[in-house]
C-alpha cells in the first residue's frame, strides 16, 4: 500500500482558514472521476469562451477551478501516457505514436509506442491503496493483453486500443485499422445494440461504479471519450441545434471566442495570431460555405452530446449520495484536429467506398466528418496552431478540477499559472492522501513522477513558482517552458524548423517572437532544451517528415499492404484468368477474321 500523507481535506481547510479553530473532521477519501475529451480545442467549452452548449462541464467549472495555462502533448497517446503516470512521454515509452512514428525510430529508447513497464499508473497506486479502479473508452497505449488497462491497475476496463473508431457502429476508422479493437478486461468485446460512443462510456462507467458500491471503497473512474476525434458524429437531435449556428464562418467564430474569453477572465487582452492555413470564408462559393458550416455544426453537436452524458453521470452520483465526495477532472488530450483524411487520391478512393461524404449528411451515422485546419483554428481560439504542433493551440487545453463537497476549494476560481499534464497524477494522489510515486515500486526501479502537486492552487494559495525548465518533444515539434516563457520549434508545414521565443503569459497567441530582443534568455533556454533532449534521448526526425504524411505511409504499410499480400494469390489467379480469357478471345477473333477473309476470296 502507498505511504499516506496528511489528509488533503485537513491540509486544505487549515490553509484556507486564517483564524485558529478546531479542525473539522476530514471527509472520507474522495472518489476520482477523470473525464478526458479527445481533440477539444482551448475554447471549446462554454466557460472558456465557446458558443457550444456545455452546461454540465460549466457547472463543474463554477464549483471548482479553471486552469487557463494548462498544457498537454500535441497528440493523444503521449498525453494519455503522462496522465496515467506523471512521467514525461519519452520516459513512459510514447516518444511517438504507432500511427506517426517513422520506422527507423521504432524500438529505440523511449520509442516503444506503448506504455512501457518502467512506469507505474495512478490506477496501480490507487488500487494498492484500496481504491476500486475502472476504465472506459479510448486507451491507445497498447493492444496486447499485458499492455491493456486491466493489466495496468484497472479492476474493470472496457477499452479501445485504437486512436479512434466509429461512434455509432462496431467498425474501425477504415483505411487506418482493420477492425475496432474493443476489449473488456483484455478479452475481445462487442458493442451493444444502439451504441453511441459518449453514451456507452458513461453507461459502462456507471455500471462498474454501481457494481462495486457494496465494498464501501472509494473509486477511480477514468472515462475517455471518443468525442471529438475523427469521425465527428452526433445524434440527430444535437445536430439540429447547431444547423444555423456557423454561417458566419471560422474567422468570426474565432474572434467571438477571443472576445468572450477576455470577458470571462480566461485570457489577457492580447493580440490574436492570424493562422496562414485559415482560408478566406468570404471567398468561398455559397455551396462550400454551407457545407463547411454543417461540418462545424456536427462538431458542436458531438461536444454537446458528450457534455450531456457527463451530466447524466453527475445526476447519478447525486442520486447515490456520492457526488459531494467526488473529485472531477475535465481536460482534453490535445488541441483540435486539422487533418484532412482525404488529402491523397488513395485515401479518397478507399474512404469513398466506406463513408458518406455528402455535406447534407455531415455528422450522421455512416459519415466521416472532419474539422479541417480552418475550423480547427476557431476551436483553438485565440491561440496559434492546433493538434500535432508545439504551438499553444496544440498544447494548451481546458482543465477543470472540482470537488463539490470540499469547502476549501473556492468555487469559480481561475488559475493562470503554467501547469502541465504530469502535474495531475501527484495531485490526484494527494487528493487521496497518498505520496507521489518515487523511483521504486514493489522492489523494482521505475521512473519517478515529475509533476508538481497542485493542491495549493486548489486551496487558493499562491500558485507554485515554475522556474525549472520543462522540455517537450513530439514528431520533431518541440518546446521548452520556463517561468512565463516558452521556446518553441515547429517543423514544416506549420513551421520552418527555427526556434522562437514567446512570453505566453502576456502573449498566449504567440504573436511576438522575442528571440532577437532577449538573446540571453533565448540561448539559455536552447541550452535547457538540449539538456532535456539528451536526458530523454530525443531522436531527430528524418528529412521531409510530417505527422500527416507518416500516418498515411504507416496506414498503407500496416493495413493496405498486408491485405494486398494476403490477397496476392487470388489476385494472381484472377489476373491469370483475365489474361487467359483475353488471349483466347483475341486468338479466336483473329481466327474468325482469317476464316472470314478466306471465305470471301473463295466466293465466285
Which residues are annotated as catalytic? 76, 140
- Report the alpha-carbon distance of residue 475 to residue 588 in Å, rounded: 60
- What SS3 state is found at 550? helix
Peptide bond into 205 cis (omega under 30): no
DSSP for residue 435: P
- Report the alpha-carbon distance of residue 182 to residue 59 in Å, rounded: 32
- What SS3 state is found at 335? coil
Beta carbons of 424 and 83 less than 8 angstroms apart? yes
DSSP for residue 423: G
CB atoms within 10 A of CB 283: 8
> Which residues 6+ apart lie within 8 Å of 152 measured at CB?
84, 115, 121, 123, 124, 141
Cα–Cα distance list, 314 to 55, 66, 388 (Å): 12, 18, 32
Beta bridge partners of 331: 36, 399
Cα–Cα distance list, 78 to 89, 279, 380, 395, 437 (Å): 5, 30, 19, 11, 19
DSSP for residue 74: S
Exposure letters 394-423 (e unless 16+ CB within 10 A, then b): bbbbbbbbbbbbbebbeeeeebbbbbbbbb
Question: Residue 118: which of 541, 545, 536 has the closest Cα?
Answer: 536
**H helices, E strands: number in the chain:** 16, 18
DSSP for residue 493: T
Beta bridge partners of 165: 172
Classify the C-alpha dihedral 483-379-49-76 as positive or negative.
Answer: negative
- Report the alpha-carbon distance of residue 256 to residue 250 in Å, rounded: 10
- Report the alpha-carbon distance of residue 550 to residue 557 in Å, rounded: 10
Instruction: Note the Cα 401 to chain centre separation in Å.
Output: 18
Phi, psi (rounded to 5 degrees) for 297: -60, -40
Beta bridge partners of 367: 356
Amino acid at each position: 500500500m502507498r505511504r499516506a500523507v496528511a489528509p488533503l481535506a485537513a491540509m486544505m481547510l487549515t490553509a484556507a482558514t486564517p483564524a485558529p479553530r478546531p479542525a473539522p473532521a476530514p471527509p472520507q477519501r474522495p472518489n476520482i472521476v477523470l473525464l478526458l475529451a479527445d481533440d477539444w480545442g482551448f475554447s471549446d467549452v462554454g466557460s472558456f469562451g465557446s458558443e457550444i452548449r456545455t452546461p454540465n462541464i460549466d457547472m463543474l467549472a463554477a464549483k471548482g477551478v479553471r486552469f487557463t495555462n494548462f498544457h498537454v502533448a500535441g497528440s493523444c497517446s503521449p498525453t494519455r501516457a503522462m496522465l496515467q503516470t506523471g512521467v514525461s512521454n519519452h520516459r513512459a515509452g510514447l516518444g511517438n505514436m504507432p500511427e506517426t512514428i517513422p520506422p527507423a525510430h521504432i524500438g529505440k529508447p523511449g520509442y516503444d509506442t506503448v506504455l512501457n513497464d518502467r512506469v507505474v499508473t495512478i490506477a496501480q497506486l490507487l488500487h494498492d491503496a484500496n481504491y476500486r479502479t475502472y476504465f472506459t473508452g479510448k486507451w491507445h497505449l497498447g493492444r496486447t493483453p499485458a499492455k491493456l488497462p486491466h493489466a495496468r491497475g484497472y479492476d474493470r476496463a472496457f477499452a479501445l486500443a485504437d486512436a479512434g473508431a466509429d461512434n455509432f457502429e462496431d467498425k474501425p476508422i477504415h483505411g487506418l485499422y482493420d477492425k475496432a479493437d474493443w476489449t473488456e478486461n483484455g478479452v475481445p468485446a462487442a458493442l451493444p445494440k444502439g451504441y453511441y460512443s459518449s453514451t456507452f462510456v458513461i453507461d459502462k462507467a456507471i455500471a462498474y461504479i454501481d457494481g462495486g458500491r457494496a465494498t464501501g471503497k472509494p473509486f477511480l473512474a477514468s472515462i475517455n471519450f471518443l468525442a471529438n476525434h475523427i469521425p465527428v458524429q452526433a445524434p440527430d437531435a444535437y445536430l439540429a441545434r447547431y444547423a444555423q449556428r456557423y454561417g458566419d464562418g471560422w474567422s468570426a467564430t474565432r474572434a467571438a471566442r477571443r472576445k468572450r474569453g477576455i470577458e470571462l477572465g480566461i485570457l489577457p487582452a492580447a493580440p490574436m495570431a492570424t493562422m496562414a492555413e485559415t482560408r478566406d470564408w468570404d471567398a468561398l462559393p455559397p455551396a462550400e460555405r454551407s457545407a463547411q458550416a454543417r461540418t462545424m455544426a456536427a462538431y458542436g453537436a458531438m461536444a454537446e452530446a458528450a457534455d450531456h452524458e457527463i451530466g447524466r453521470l453527475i445526476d447519478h452520483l447525486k442520486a447515490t449520495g456520492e457526488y459531494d465526495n467526488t473529485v472531477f477532472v475535465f481536460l482534453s488530450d490535445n488541441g483540435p484536429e486539422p487533418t484532412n483524411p482525404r488529402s491523397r487520391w488513395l485515401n479518397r478512393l478507399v474512404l469513398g467506398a466506406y463513408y458518406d461524404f455528402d455535406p447534407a449528411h455531415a455528422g450522421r451515422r455512416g459519415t466521416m466528418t472532419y474539422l479541417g485546419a480552418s475550423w480547427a483554428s476557431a476551436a483553438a481560439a485565440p491561440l496559434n496552431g492546433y493538434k500535432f504542433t508545439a504551438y499553444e493551440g496544440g498544447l494548451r487545453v481546458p482543465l477543470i478540477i472540482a470537488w463539490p463537497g470540499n469547502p476549501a476549494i473556492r468555487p469559480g476560481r481561475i488559475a493562470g499559472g503554467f501547469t502541465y499534464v504530469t502535474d495531475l497524477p501527484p495531485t490526484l494522489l494527494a487528493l487521496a492522501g497518498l505520496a507521489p510515486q518515487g523511483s521504486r515500486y514493489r522492489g523494482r526501479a521505475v521512473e519517478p513522477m515529475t509533476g508538481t502537486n497542485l493542491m495549493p492552487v486548489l486551496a487558493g494559495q499562491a500558485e507554485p513558482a515554475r522556474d525549472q525548465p520543462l522540455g517537450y518533444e513530439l514528431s520533431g515539434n518541440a518546446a521548452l517552458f520556463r517561468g512565463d516563457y516558452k521556446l518553441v520549434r515547429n517543423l514544416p508545414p506549420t513551421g520552418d524548423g527555427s526556434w522562437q521565443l514567446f512570453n505566453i503569459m502576456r502573449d498566449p497567441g504567440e504573436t511576438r517572437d522575442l528571440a532577437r530582443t532577449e538573446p540571453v534568455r533565448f540561448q539559455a533556454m536552447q541550452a535547457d532544451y538540449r539538456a532535456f533532449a539528451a536526458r530523454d534521448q530525443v531522436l531527430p526526425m528524418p528529412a521531409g517528415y510530417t505527422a500527416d504524411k507518416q500516418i498515411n505511409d504507416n496506414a498503407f504499410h500496416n493495413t493496405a499492404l498486408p491485405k494486398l499480400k494476403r490477397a496476392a494469390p487470388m489476385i494472381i489467379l484472377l489476373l491469370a484468368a483475365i489474361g487467359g480469357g483475353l488471349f483466347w478471345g483475341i486468338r479466336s477473333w483473329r481466327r474468325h477474321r482469317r476464316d472470314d477473309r478466306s471465305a470471301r476470296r473463295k466466293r465466285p
